[in-house]
Amino acid sequence: MSMEILKAGAKSLGLTLGAHHLARFEAYYRELEAWNKRFNLTAITGCEEIQRRHFIDSLTCLLAFPSGVASASIPDEVPLQWQGTDLRCADVGTGAGFPGLPLKIVFPEIRLTLIEATAKKVVFLEHMVRTLGLSQVEIIHARAEDIGRLPEHREQYDVVLARAVAHLAVLAEYCLPLCRVGGRFIAPKGEDALEEIAAAEEAIALLGGALVAAKPITLPDVPGQRYLVVIDKVAKTPDRYPRRAGIPLKRPLP
């Protein structure tokens, strides 16, 4: 099995994947394909498509990770000046582990929390963490609205990620309450990202966020424009947010 598409895609981001990385990604692919036949974890199948649309797409999030260097723009290659920072990251609505697990494979020093509301996906995530031999990964079977009100998680994360299919105003209410002031929320979005940003502008500000950038992303041999929406947490989220489970999706903030 070839992981050359992933290897080349990572290189275009400034990342060099070694044999140990590629072996873990190959194991991830095999388990995902096997489990997907029973549990329908993802609509994206096939080795090449999973490399492009899941693995490489997840790794693009690293472009926006904190580097310790103040900048108003997001670079074209992954900044590696982490200064030894022990980043605490949360992946909200992670599904089959995207983007969190690919990021953990490449940078095992991050402390990762995977939040997922669907039980069968949680079982798969637990299996993958064991199979890949990953440490410092917490898996939580819960809704983001509930986790965001718990003191041990509220405003505790340096980076909060969400690749879930939901409007940006909804994702902001899920994610910004988890993000510490000074932290960052990163959301990979499709070609409607700019319209979503415009519609969510007031909600983002209300929740304590400030837009940094909408970084255009091109995936190899994948049609359509992608964006990394990058939002910094500049103020505390008001205590009344997130609203109770289900409300953000039913009644998105204006």
Region 4-250: CATH code: 3.40.50.150
Joined tokens for residue 130: 């064991």
**According to the model, what pLDDT value does residue 76 have?**
86
Residue boundaries of the structural domains of the chain: 4-250
Count of helices and strands (H, E) across the chain: 10, 7
Alpha helix (H) residue ranges in the chain: 4-12, 19-39, 47-50, 57-59, 100-106, 119-132, 144-147, 168-175, 193-206, 247-250
**According to the model, what pLDDT value does residue 1 have?**
74
Q: Which residues sit opposite 179 in a β-bridge?
A: 157
**Count of CB atoms situated within 10 Å of the CB of 115:** 27
- pTM of the predicted structure, to 2 decimals: 0.95
Give average pLDDT by consecutive 10-residue segment, the chain, 254 residues: 93 94 97 94 93 96 79 76 74 97 95 97 98 97 97 97 93 98 96 96 98 93 92 97 96 93
